[in-house]
Structure 1
Amino acid sequence: MINDDPGARDLVAIALHSFREAILPVVPAEQRFTALMIANALGTAERELTAGTRAEPALAAAVGGLLGEDGDLPTLLPRLCAAIGAGRFDAPDRQTALRAVLKDITRARLAVSNPKRLAAEGQGDERRGDGR
């Protein structure tokens, strides 16, 4: 049997769209901040549900490659922190690889929590022309 019911991401997207279209326009000014926080939380949840399934396996593979281990991201990240603390990435060539993975993790997190900042950062890179 085919399940045509919307999934969690679809339900959050529908709720966010409905909230923005039907509720936000009529929210009194004194409650506007709270309403915007709700819209922001729904937007973050929607992005997390969408991005988490795409980015997490690649990030886990990258972190696992640094550590020489296999596993999922929630398991590997504390191990990465411990390895950093133990000095496993103190050599310059290891630092370069570590920085690349940490930048990927940061970009993935920004894509969920603050995509506008991520977009602004990308535009800043082009203006600076220094590749940072």
Structure 2
Amino acid sequence: MPQSTPKAAILLEAAVKYLETELMPTLDGYHRFQTRVTVNVLNTVRRELELRTAQAEAERSRLVAILGHDGEVETLSVELAEKIRAGAIAIDDPALRSHVRQSLADALTINNPKWMTR
């Protein structure tokens, strides 16, 4: 698919800027709250567009290192969960703990990066 101009992340940023700086000051109560929710959703989508590809590749690399073979992220994740349940991979395995920690950090970076600064 051809790259749109401007990029989706830039369009989302412009929409957020309008909502925050132009529209929200004119609103109160319910509509102000709903606009804030919409801003949060648009920012989450923007971060996902910007970060998810690199995060998914890094996740796949971690899973390959833990499991010892290549595959798709979803398939490898299911296999990892099955191996943990079966006791084939210990829950205190350093590579597993590092993988889970980084996966959670990646998810928080997209969903709410403020949580990462606490």
TM-score clears 0.5: yes
* TM-score bracket for this pair, using the shorter chain length: 0.7 to 0.9
Q: 1:111 to 1:91 in 2, by over 3 A?
A: closer
Per the alignment, residue 54 of structure 2 pairs with 54
Q: CA deviation at 1:91?
A: 7.5
Aligned partner of residue 6 in structure 1, secondary structure: coil
TM-score by length of 1: 0.78
Aligned-pair identity (%): 27
Instruction: Return 5+ residue gaps in structure 1 as ranges.
Output: 121-132
Instruction: Return 5+ residue gaps in structure 2 as ranges.
Output: none
TM-score by length of 2: 0.86
State the Cα deviation string for residues 26-75 of structure 1 (Å, max 9, x = none): 12223221111111101111111111022211111001110112123233
Q: Which gives a bigger RCO, structure 1 or 2 (Cα 8 Å, sep 6+)?
A: 2
State the Cα deviation string for residues 8-36 of structure 1 (Å, max 9, x = none): 22222222122212211112223221111
Is the 8 Å Cα contact of residues 63 and 77 (structure 1) preserved in structure 2?
Answer: yes
Q: CA RMSD in A?
A: 2.0
Would you say 1:8 and 2:8 are equivalent positions?
yes
Per the alignment, residue 22 of structure 2 pairs with 22
Q: Which amino acid aligns with 1:65?
A: A
